[in-house]
Amino acid sequence: MTDRYSVSAESLLKSRAFSVPDGAALEVSEVREENFEAVRAKLLHILGDESCLSGGVSLPLSETRCPADGVLSFPAVDFLKKYRFGFYDLIYIIHRLMDEDGCEWDKAQTHESIRSNAVEEALELVEAINNHDIDNMREETGDVLLQGAFHAVIAENTGEYDIADVISEVCKKLIFRHPHVFGEVKARNAEEALAAWEKAKMAEKKQKTVTEKMEHVAKTLPQTMRAAKVQKYAAGVGFDFATAEDSAEKVREELQEFLAAEAKDAEMEGGDLLFAAINTLRLKGIHPEMALLRSVDKFVRRFSAVEKCVAAEGKDIRTVGLDYLDAIYNRVKSEE
């Protein structure tokens, strides 16, 4: 006998994250003329244009009329014939891939073997965001979600944790770190909200000092991001330059020290120079990783134009010399 999941139209419309249990039929009650279009629109988004039984007649949901008895019924759908899928369908698919008769590649994976994928997929999502590419953002968001789900299923198979643990933990964390939403703390603006978050986070992590917060920043982050976070924590207790202009003086100082450094000290002095530059960007409200990404992209675009110009003039880019290339580069830059 097929399980049946029942919900009222009011509950369906109020729910922000509604899904039907796997393999269950769905029944929506209390459907009326005044809420029918809203109910149908939400069901189309959740289920797709599945067959709907209303008044003894089965039709695609898009063609269904408001039922006289106030009930819309949907039979259980074969998994592979679904129009739309939910989060736990994703978990089922990964489990299926890792079954004994599943995919040989998926079965062979471990936390370590796929860890670089999480970085790659996250960066591809960032690129899609930078390009304002909504279609690609949707795809890359799914790929990021897949990586987390994949690790959860691997962990379940090894007895470490499962997806229920992951979801429960992140929900508890979000509630705990938002006392200004779920508790009694008041936050009148974004700055106060962030302060409430940071205070709650320190309590959760049992961090008593700023150094402990700094040490908790992942060393696997791009170092521009890690530097900016460490600097932000120092700034939170007043250890910071008053302005970006003041910080720029430090950049000049570090540049001179780098240029004067002996070979054995050059790497450290170069790091100090970068650290000072990142601090100046931070004080201007600029994300250093995004700024560098845009600058690298800009250079590649301009260099490509230079290379094409040189080729069009029948010359070899390796032999024309810096002055020649610089003149073309400046021309390309001015034409932008």
The fraction of the chain above a pLDDT of 90, given in percent, is 75
CB within 8 A of 335, min separation 6: which ones?
Answer: none
* Amino acid identity for residue 321 in this structure: G
Q: What is the DSSP letter of 155?
A: H
Q: What is the pLDDT of residue 113?
A: 96
Q: What is the DSSP letter of 84?
A: S
Give the torsion sign (CA, 101, 102, 103, 104). negative
Q: What is the DSSP string of 242-270?
A: SSHHHHHHHHHHHHHHHHH--HHHHHHHH
Give me the long-range contacts of 119-122 (CB less than 8 A, separation at least 24): 121/146, 121/147
Residues of the chain with pLDDT under 70: 1-2
Strands 51-54 and 57-60: antiparallel
In whole angstroms, give the CA distance from residue 242 to residue 252.
Answer: 17
| pTM, to two decimals | 0.72
Q: Are 258 and 272 in contact (CB under 8 A)?
A: yes
Q: What are the φ and ψ backbone dihedral angles of 67, each rounded to 5 degrees?
A: -70, 140
Q: What is the pLDDT of residue 1?
A: 54
What is the CB-side half-sphere exposure of residue 254 using CA atoms within 13 A? 19
3-state secondary structure of 93: helix
In whole angstroms, give the CA distance from residue 57 to residue 4.
Answer: 19
